[in-house]
């Protein structure tokens, strides 16, 4: 009886005051070796956890250092000996994300090992710490994935896109990189929110409604961007090409953007056209698929001129010009009987459309000189007007003559039958 009373008294003394939670006894640390040294046994469960925490942190730092050393001294030198630069660029971009991932995974493993059996693990603060470490690991994975995408994009821009003539890849690769970054961050945020048991269904619905509202508000911008993407893919023209629009505008393509296309005219003015407008317009690409340009000019000569002589002179002028191509062969065609002249069309080609205007100027100067030497008249529009006698009522006649016809003052009339001018 005396022993039972003493046991009850000691239990009453060790019991917590009313209103305070019952503290759970700290369990021994599992998953680690139980060292036989006396000083280690004297640490107790709490001291032993602190000891293994310090050991774990030191081991984690050592592991991160070894991974960094492996990256610098082994993997990167090996990648420099390969035939492609892609592996080296990927390793350079992913070195820091790999170290961050190794550190995050090591911290998670060390935390779960040390917190096992500790009341702190079941507290709200412990849940927050555990969630933060989990989020850190997910973020490290997301950064690593994006680093791989960025490395491949940089390699493509420097090794492939720089060697192509098309600007399409120069525009699309950075756009793909930005879209990939948004997608990776969105997936990482979804995983983290799911770990914290946050329902994202309503959030996705709200994001969909917001996206619809933005799309309706910016439909012109979206339409221009889609049209710009179509232009970059379809490639009806390239930067530097000379084009002619349906309204007669002629200029060189200065820049092709996702929203607009810029054209430099002959007046050295920059015309900015929305991609939606230019993608649906009729466009003549003067410089594609080759820069050869056809010159077509009309020349008129007076009636009575020998057509064979005109054609011979024009062909001789074109044949003597150094920039007029012999293949295809130049030609002169008698095309029309005009109101005041005979019309001839001269057709020849130059190797580059940039030489068209100087060539036309030189040919016109030579045509003017040779026509003057050959006595070929270049007529101007003219009309012969004949005014005949008109019978008018007596009350409307003005100075009627003997025949009762109206005589118009200063009028030039046809000759009368008797040979006199009426």
pLDDT tens track for 179-226: 888 888 888 888 888 877 777 777 677 777 877 787 777 778 878 888
Mean pLDDT on 236-253: 90
- Residue 241 scores a pLDDT above 70: yes
- Residue 29 scores a pLDDT above 70: no
As a whole number of angstroms, the distance between CA 159 and CA 220 comes to 35
Mean pLDDT on 31-60: 70
DSSP 328: S
As a whole number of angstroms, the distance between CA 11 and CA 5 comes to 10
The angle subtended at Cα 395 by Cα 394 and Cα 397, nearest 5°, is 65
Mean pLDDT on 379-402: 67
- Residue 416 scores a pLDDT above 50: no
Secondary structure E strands in 249-327: 250-256, 260-265, 270-274, 284-285, 293-301
Please, which residues have CB within 8 angstroms of residue 262's CB and are 6 or more apart in sequence? 253, 254, 255, 256, 270, 271, 272, 273
Select from 236, 331, 318 the least CA-distant residue to 275: 236
Q: Could you count the other beta carbons within 10 Å of the beta carbon of residue 88?
A: 19
- Residue 414 scores a pLDDT above 70: no
DSSP 322: T
As a whole number of angstroms, the distance between CA 25 and CA 10 comes to 17
- Residue 401 scores a pLDDT above 60: no
Integer CA distances (angstroms), 416 to 388, 403, 419, 421, in order: 10, 11, 5, 6
As a whole number of angstroms, the distance between CA 235 and CA 380 comes to 46
- % of the chain exceeding 90 in pLDDT: 25
pLDDT at 2: 44
**Mean pLDDT lowest among 12-26, 37-51, 386-400:** 12-26
- Residue 272 scores a pLDDT above 50: yes
Do residues 347 and 296 touch, judged by C-beta distance below 8 A? yes
As a whole number of angstroms, the distance between CA 334 and CA 301 comes to 11
As a whole number of angstroms, the distance between CA 188 and CA 182 comes to 10
Please, which residues have CB within 8 angstroms of residue 87's CB and are 6 or more apart in sequence? 79
Tokens linked to 193? 């929110």
As a whole number of angstroms, the distance between CA 154 and CA 137 comes to 26
Mean pLDDT on 21-37: 57
- Roughly what angle, to the nearest 10 degrees, separates helices 124-159 and 168-195? 170
pLDDT at 69: 85
Query: Model confidence at 300, in pLDDT bands (50, 70, 90)?
Result: very high
Query: Model confidence at 163, in pLDDT bands (50, 70, 90)?
Result: low
Q: Which of 55-69, 109-123, 347-361 has the highest mean pLDDT?
A: 347-361
Mean pLDDT on 222-245: 84
3-state secondary structure 41-88: HHHHHHHHHHHHHHHHHHHHHHHHHHHHHHHHHHHHHHHHCCCCCHHH
As a whole number of angstroms, the distance between CA 120 and CA 114 comes to 11
pLDDT at 412: 45
Q: Could you count the other beta carbons within 10 Å of the beta carbon of residue 75?
A: 19
**Mean pLDDT lowest among 172-181, 193-202, 277-286:** 193-202
As a whole number of angstroms, the distance between CA 69 and CA 116 comes to 32
**Mean pLDDT lowest among 16-30, 101-115, 212-226, 290-304:** 16-30
Select from 93, 115, 113 the least CA-distant residue to 105: 113
3-state helix, strand, coil in the chain (%, to 5): 55, 15, 30
Average pLDDT over the chain, rounded to an integer: 78
Phi-psi region of 91 (alpha: psi -120 to 50; beta: other; left: phi over 0): alpha
Reported pTM: 0.51
- CATH architecture classification, 293-374: 2-Layer Sandwich (3.30)
pLDDT at 16: 46
Please, which residues have CB within 8 angstroms of residue 304's CB and are 6 or more apart in sequence? none
Q: What are the residue ranges spanned by the domains of the chain?
A: 38-198, 232-285, 293-374, 387-422
pLDDT at 398: 55
DSSP 387: B
pLDDT at 186: 84
- 232-285 fold: SH3 type barrels. (2.30.30)
- Residue 335 scores a pLDDT above 70: yes
pLDDT at 59: 80
Please, which residues have CB within 8 angstroms of residue 343's CB and are 6 or more apart in sequence? 298, 299, 300, 334, 335, 336, 337
pLDDT at 9: 43
Select from 280, 231, 281 the least CA-distant residue to 255: 231
- Residue 232 scores a pLDDT above 80: no
As a whole number of angstroms, the distance between CA 4 and CA 6 comes to 5
Do 232-285 and 293-374 fold alike per CATH? Answer: no
- Residue 117 scores a pLDDT above 80: no
Select from 336, 257, 271, 341 the least CA-distant residue to 300: 341
Mean pLDDT on 269-283: 90
As a whole number of angstroms, the distance between CA 346 and CA 364 comes to 11
């Amino acid at each position: 009886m005396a022993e039972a009373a003493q046991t009850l008294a000691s239990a009453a003394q060790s019991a917590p005051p009313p209103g305070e939670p019952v503290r759970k006894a700290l369990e021994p640390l599992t998953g680690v070796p139980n060292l036989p040294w006396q000083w280690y046994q004297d640490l107790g469960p709490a001291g032993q956890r602190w000891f293994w925490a310090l050991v774990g942190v030191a081991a984690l730092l050592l592991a991160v250092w070894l991974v960094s050393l492996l990256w610098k001294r082994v993997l990167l030198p090996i990648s420099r000996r390969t035939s492609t630069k892609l592996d080296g660029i990927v390793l350079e971009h992913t070195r820091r994300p790999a170290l961050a991932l190794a550190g995050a995974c090591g911290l998670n493993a060390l935390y779960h090992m040390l917190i096992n059996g500790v009341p702190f693990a079941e507290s709200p603060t412990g849940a927050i710490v555990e969630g933060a470490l989990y989020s850190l690991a997910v973020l490290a994975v997301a950064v690593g994935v994006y680093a791989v995408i960025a490395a491949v994009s940089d390699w493509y821009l420097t090794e492939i896109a720089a060697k192509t003539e098309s600007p399409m890849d120069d525009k699309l690769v950075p756009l793909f990189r930005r879209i990939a970054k948004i997608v990776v961050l969105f997936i990482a945020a979804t995983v983290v929110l799911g770990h914290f048991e946050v329902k994202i269904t309503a959030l996705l619905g709200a994001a969909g409604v917001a996206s619809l509202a933005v799309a309706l508000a910016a439909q012109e911008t979206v339409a221009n961007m889609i049209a710009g993407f179509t232009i970059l893919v379809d490639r009806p023209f390239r930067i530097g090409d000379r084009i002619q629009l349906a309204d007669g505008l002629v200029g060189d393509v200065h820049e092709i953007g996702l929203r607009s296309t810029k054209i430099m005219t002959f007046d050295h003015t920059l015309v900015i056209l929305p991609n939606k407008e230019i993608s649906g317009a009729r466009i003549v690409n003067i410089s594609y698929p080759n820069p050869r340009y056809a010159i077509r000019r009309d020349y008129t000569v007076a009636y009575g001129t020998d057509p064979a002589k005109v054609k011979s002179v024009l062909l001789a002028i074109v044949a003597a010009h150094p920039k007029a191509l012999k293949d295809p062969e130049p030609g002169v065609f008698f095309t029309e009987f005009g109101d005041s002249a005979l019309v001839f069309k001269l057709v020849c080609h130059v190797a580059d459309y940039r030489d068209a205007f100087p060539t036309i100027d030189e040919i016109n100067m030579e045509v003017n000189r040779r026509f003057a030497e050959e006595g070929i008249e270049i007529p101007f529009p003219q009309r012969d007007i004949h005014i005949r006698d008109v019978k008018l009522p007596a009350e409307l006649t003005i100075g009627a003559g003997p025949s009762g016809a109206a005589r118009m003052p200063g009028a030039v009339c046809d000759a009368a039958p008797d040979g006199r001018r009426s």
